[in-house]
Amino acid sequence: MKYEQLAKDILQNVGGKENVNSVVHCITRLRFKLKDEGKANTDALKNLEGVVTVMKSGGQYQVVIGNHVPDVYKAVVNAGGFQSQSPVDANDGGGKQKTSFIDIISSIFTPVLGVLAATGMIKGLVALFVALGWLKNTTGTYHILNAIGDSLFYFFPIFLGYTAIKKFGGSHFIGMAIGASLVYPTLTTLTTGEPITTLFSGSVFQSPVYITFLGIPVILMSYASSVIPIIVASYFAAKVEKFLKKVIPDVVKAFVVPFLTLLIVVPITFIVIGPIATWAGVLLGQATLWLYHLSPMIAGLFVGGLWQVFVIFGLHWGLVPIAINNLTVNGADPVLGTMFAASFAQIGAVLAVWLRTKDQKIKSLSLPAFISGFFGVTEPAIYGITLPLKRPFIISCIGGAAGGAILGFMESQIYMVGGLGIFGIPTYISPKGGLDAGFWGSIFAMIVGFIFGFILTWLFGMGKNNTANQGKKIGESKPTGETQSNPSQGYELLFSPFNGEVKALSSIQDAVFASGALGLGVAIEPAEGKLYSPVSGTVSALFPTNHAIGITSDHGAEILVHIGMDTVQLEGKFFTAHVTQDARVEKGQLLIEFDIQGIQSAGYIVTTPVIVTNKQHYHPPMITEQRQIKAGDRLFELKKR
């Protein structure tokens, strides 16, 4: 077998087959779940011929192979003595992999973060205008703007009811109905007068009881802006609904299942789930503050310094619900409050690279990365500039740590979820203290992080190897006016497979794609869920989940189009293929249809890399200047070496 030795080497360096809980593959990489990642020899794996790189993300140990990963996967299955070529899982008997905590949290919160940030920005600006005396809190303008700012966060359980139950496999509107029940306004008026009784008297959980349900005491709590109760209730509801669908006859299932689900879940939520989850949230908030107050400076140093590393591996999702819980319970959060300087340290480093480098490709990528980073979107800066150059990324982490230490020392906290980057400033305005020391500490930390990143990168960050293999900048070359490939002159044209927006490949939120390790090309944000063939050729790879396709053009270019990031985990949901493996395709032929809204609602992005994987045969591609592009428009030109 061609890849037999590579498979044996891979298994040996992941700690042996006995260290493998599961192994599956997507269109470019082997995805291992290991019993002990400490037994894996990552450096040795990276140096194996046939391995592009190694990534650790979302609880998976990913060995990046490239287009021939199905063949390597078969060899790994054979070498490991696994029973089949389906996922092998020692924990749940094979088949579907268990979902990690990080994946659950990101899937629940990602769909609402944009609107949550937008409403937070409005609330922050209102607070800023009041603090500066530009707006009085007695005017109608203030109340309307404040209503917009408070709307989503106050009714957060309804929104999380939708995203949480969707993640757990239940009906969306059942989740929303449970969330709406939790914030039903009439219930808050029932907590006046003398209580019927008091539960847990004399303990920290002492709770007055004002109403009962079928004689059972109900502890009424404020669930506005809460996080944990609705997530737990949605999980329970999804299980109840799934059971009821099995036992209720199809003829009445459409209304009897939601009827019984709500009738069972909502009372149990008010009687059991809500109070316990709320108390758990209070304890979590107190524990977080206790750890923070052990040494605010060390906490800031840690979070600020490692924040960008957390983002790369998706670990920041573990802190987001803690921060939102702290805002609900305590009205403020120091956890996310200590990461503010990290993005400014990043753009300080990028600015120094832009001014120092003589490499036109890096210079052309740096300015857009700086601008997007100024507004808090640092992925282009990280993946396109600082991480490939290594030193600037390390320096930016040090700058983030310095700023985080200042934020900790000044005990700066955020008082709302708001915008990123420069738009994050108003979130540090205290509703009671206004522009207090914590607010000015955030400004000082932002400046220090930026200056730190800039000066250290200027002095020490530019080594000899200051290039990144990403191809030429979008807009660097003029369109040639050619509409056909000309193999006799050594070049080939690739056409857009989508209607959408062209982006730099470095903007992809996957370090392997962004670095160009898998191939050169561009990214496209599709505006329509249809993928057309960019060339005439043959389908060389079509993954069973239909989220990615490989095409070998008539002139030899090996093209990979990967719809979204980590969409393999959707297991084919939202994707429909109109071609088969080894099929002949023509330029402009419809290949795959996909549901953009469904993919995004499930917590995944649809930004799609379009790359040439046999990059060793070509010069960096000459990429179109067009930002908005239509399917069939010239995307980039390849010229053979």
Residues serving a catalytic function are: 26, 562
> Strand, helix or coil at 113?
helix
CA 470 to chain centre: 22
Sign of CA dihedral 386, 390, 391, 397: positive
Q: Edge-to-edge strands of the sheet including 60-64? A: 20-25, 29-34, 60-64, 53-57
**Token pair for residue 578?**
């109109």
DSSP states along 520-542: EEEEEEESSSEEE-SSSEEEEEE
CB 516 within 8 A of CB 596: no
Sorted by sequence, the CB contacts under 8 Å of residue 409 that are 6+ apart come out as 296, 297, 300, 441
DSSP states along 225-290: T--HHHHHHHHHHHHHHHHHHHHS-GGGHHHHHHHHHHHHHHHHIIIIIHHHHHHHHHHHHHHHHH
**Residue 592 to residue 545: CA distance in whole angstroms:** 11
**Residue 331 to residue 533: CA distance in whole angstroms:** 52
Which is it for strands 207-209 and 211-213: parallel, antiparallel or unpaired?
unpaired
**Token pair for residue 495?**
């056409």
Query: Number of C-alpha atoms within 13 angstroms, CB side, residue 50?
Result: 17
**Residue 313 to residue 58: CA distance in whole angstroms:** 7
CB 325 within 8 A of CB 284: yes
> Residue 331 belongs to what H/E stretch?
none
Q: Interior CA angle at 415 toward 375 and 175, to 5°?
A: 90
Going by the DSSP 8-state scheme, the letter that residue 188 receives in this structure is: G
**Residue 67 to residue 49: CA distance in whole angstroms:** 14
Q: Which residue has the tokens 């496209």?
A: 524
